[in-house]
Amino acid sequence: MIQTKAKSFVLANLPYEQNALAPFVSAETINYHYNKHHRTYVDKLNELVSGTEFEELELEELIVKTAGHADKAGIFNNAAQVWNHNFYWNSLSPKGGGKPTGELGRKIEADFGSYKNFLKQFVEAGMTDFGSGWAWLVEDQGVLKITKTSNAENPLSQGQGKALLTLDVWEHAYYLDYQNRRGDYLKTILDKLVNWNFAEMNMNICKSIDA
């Protein structure tokens, strides 16, 4: 029997059951999105880094090291998509959605003018991200901002600050449930599923790093 090395990168568990976000994101969507798309990025990444200098790196390190290097695009794309999807699953919660309270709620009102403006900007970023990509809430030098990235790019690879939340706007994230209505998907996620506890936790992590 051939001894095989343990895989470098693993598919992280979903933080909830596959039907937990229904009816807003169906179990069928999660099944394809997590078990097929996300898993394929993990498998492909392991295949590409096997036996290379990249095999032992942490995922974030690997993303930063390969970003912007055309000859490493395959590794970068798969590594970033693994990270982005881990981040996306945690950006959603069956108990999420609506207007955030507490410190993050106050900061959103301060930095965007109002919660309504924040919603408008987040949906607009997702809507105007041409093709496949991601919309993000980031904290950049102490200020909350909305950004968007194409394909597998993320705030780590683009130097856009610290990611707090993300919404996947690849068609595979919403097509089964919303078909071409990307705006309805974005608005529904923000209204019903967005995980403010995760965003607040990420904001507090940057605070302790800055201190």
Contacts of 120 (CB under 8 A, 6+ apart): none
Residue 168 lies near Mn ion (rule: CB under 5 A): yes
Cis check: omega of the bond before 23, within 30 degrees of 0? yes
Burial of 148 (0-12, 13-18, 19+ CB in 10 A): buried
Residue among 172, 171, 115, 173 at smallest CA distance from 146: 115
User: Minimal distance in Å, beta carbon 67 to Mn ion?
Assistant: 19
**Size of site (CB under 5 A) for Mn ion:** 3
The DSSP bridge partners found for residue 134 are 149, 168
User: Which one, 37 or 99, has the nearer CB to Mn ion?
Assistant: 37
User: Which one, 129 or 139, has the nearer CB to Mn ion?
Assistant: 129
Q: Round to the nearest angstrom and report the end-to-end CA distance of the chain.
A: 52
User: Which one, 81 or 206, has the nearer CB to Mn ion?
Assistant: 81
- Pick the piece of the chain touching Mn ion (CB under 5 A) from 69-77, 91-99, 128-136, 170-178: 170-178
- Pick the piece of the chain touching Mn ion (CB under 5 A) from 4-12, 41-49, 94-102, 161-169: 161-169
Contacts of 199 (CB under 8 A, 6+ apart): 91, 100, 104, 137, 164, 165
Residue 170 lies near Mn ion (rule: CB under 5 A): yes
Residue 122 lies near Mn ion (rule: CB under 5 A): no
Residue 83 lies near Mn ion (rule: CB under 5 A): no
User: Which one, 112 or 170, has the nearer CB to Mn ion?
Assistant: 170
- Residues in contact with Mn ion by the rule CB under 5 A: 168, 170, 173
